[in-house]
Chains A and B, each alone.
Chain A
Amino acid sequence: MKRRNLFTTMAAALALATVPATAALADNPVLKIGFVGVTSGPAAAWGISNQRSMETRAAWLNEIGGYKIGDVTYDIEIVSFDDQKDPKRAIAGMEKMAQEGIHYVVGPNVDDGAAAVRPVAEANGIIYFPYAFPKALYTAPASNAVLGMVANYQSGPAIYKYLKEEKGVKTVAFIAANESDPLSQRDSGLVAAEALGLEAVSANVTYQVDTTDFTPVLTPVIRTRPDLLVLSGVTPANAPQLIRSARELGFQGLISTETAQDAQVLRESAGDLANGFISVGGASTPEIASDMMKEFVARYTEMFGEYNDESNTKVYALEYILATLAENPAAINDVEAFKQTMDTFEVPNPYMKGDAVMRYVGMSSFGQRRQVAVPLVVNVFQDGEFETLFVAEVD
Chain B
Amino acid sequence: MEQVVANGIYLGSQYAMIALGLTLIFALMNVLNFAHGQMYVIGGFVTYTFYGQFQMPFLLALLMSCLTLTVLGALIEKFLFGPVIRRSAREESTMLLAAGIAFLLDAIILLVFGEKQRGVPKIVDGVFNWDFRIIMPYDRILICALAILSIVAFITFMQFSRTGRALRALAQDRDAAQLMGVNVNRYSMIGFALGAMLAGLVGGLLVTITGVNLGMGGPTSIKAFLMVMIGGAGVISGAIVGGFILGMLEAVGLAVLSQYGDITYLVIFVALMIFLTIRPQGLMGKPWG
Please state if B262 and A40 are interface contacts (CB–CB under 8 Å). no
Residues of chain B at interface, number, CB under 8 A: 44
Given the known inter-chain contacts A206-B262, A210-B215, A250-B132, please indicate yes or no for A217 contacting B254, CB distance below 8 A: yes
- Chain A CB count within 10 A is highest, among B116, B120, B140, for B116
Please state if A204 and B258 are interface contacts (CB–CB under 8 Å). yes
Please state if B209 and A213 are interface contacts (CB–CB under 8 Å). yes
- Measured CB to CB, the closest approach of chain A to B38, in angstroms, equals 12
Q: Which of B56-64, B121-129, B188-196, B235-243 is found at the contact surface with chain A?
A: B121-129
Q: Which of A144-152, A262-270, A288-296 is found at the contact surface with chain B?
A: A262-270
Please state if A265 and B255 are interface contacts (CB–CB under 8 Å). no
Residues of A within 8 A of B213 (CB): 42, 44, 237
Please state if A45 and B119 are interface contacts (CB–CB under 8 Å). no
Residues 241-273 of chain A: 1 if any B CB is under 8 Å from the residue's CB, otherwise 0? 100000011100000000000101100111100
B103's nearest neighbour on chain A, judged by CB, is A40
- Measured CB to CB, the closest approach of chain B to A54, in angstroms, equals 15
Please state if B250 and A216 are interface contacts (CB–CB under 8 Å). yes
Name the one of A178, A249, A265, A269 contacting B262, with C-beta atoms under 8 angstroms. Answer: A178
Residues of B within 8 A of A220 (CB): 254-255, 258-259
Residues of A within 8 A of B3 (CB): 219
Tell me if A78 is interfacial: C-beta within 8 Å of chain B.
Answer: no
Residues 195-234 of chain A: 1 if any B CB is under 8 Å from the residue's CB, otherwise 0? 0000000001111101011011101110000000000000
Please state if B106 and A40 are interface contacts (CB–CB under 8 Å). yes
Please state if A265 and B215 are interface contacts (CB–CB under 8 Å). no
Tell me if A39 is interfacial: C-beta within 8 Å of chain B.
Answer: yes
- Measured CB to CB, the closest approach of chain B to A220, in angstroms, equals 5
Residues of A within 8 A of B206 (CB): 212
Given the known inter-chain contacts A215-B7, A217-B258, please indicate yes or no for A45 contacting B117, CB distance below 8 A: yes
Residues of A within 8 A of B219 (CB): 208, 210, 212
> With the chains together, A153 CA to B119 CA distance in Å?
31
Tell me if B100 is interfacial: C-beta within 8 Å of chain A.
Answer: no
- Measured CB to CB, the closest approach of chain B to A274, in angstroms, equals 10
Tell me if B54 is interfacial: C-beta within 8 Å of chain A.
Answer: no
Residues of B within 8 A of A236 (CB): 116-117
Residues 43-58 of chain A: 1 if any B CB is under 8 Å from the residue's CB, otherwise 0? 1110010000000000
Given the known inter-chain contacts A213-B11, A213-B209, A219-B3, please indicate yes or no for A45 contacting B132, CB distance below 8 A: no
Please state if B215 and A212 are interface contacts (CB–CB under 8 Å). no
Chain B residues packing against A (C-beta within 8 Å):
3-4, 7, 10-11, 14, 52, 106, 110, 114-122, 127, 129, 132, 135, 137, 140, 206, 209-211, 213-216, 218-219, 250-251, 254-255, 258-262, 265
9 shortest interchain CB distances as A-B pairs:
A269-B119, A42-B215, A210-B219, A178-B262, A237-B117, A206-B262, A212-B210, A44-B115, A41-B215
A-B contact pairs, 21 of them (CB 8 A): A41-B215, A42-B213, A44-B215, A45-B116, A178-B262, A207-B262, A213-B14, A213-B210, A215-B7, A216-B4, A216-B250, A219-B254, A236-B116, A237-B116, A238-B117, A240-B117, A240-B211, A250-B132, A262-B116, A305-B114, A308-B116
Chain A residues packing against B (C-beta within 8 Å):
39-45, 48, 178, 204-208, 210, 212-213, 215-217, 219-221, 236-238, 240-241, 248-250, 262, 264-265, 268-271, 305-306, 308
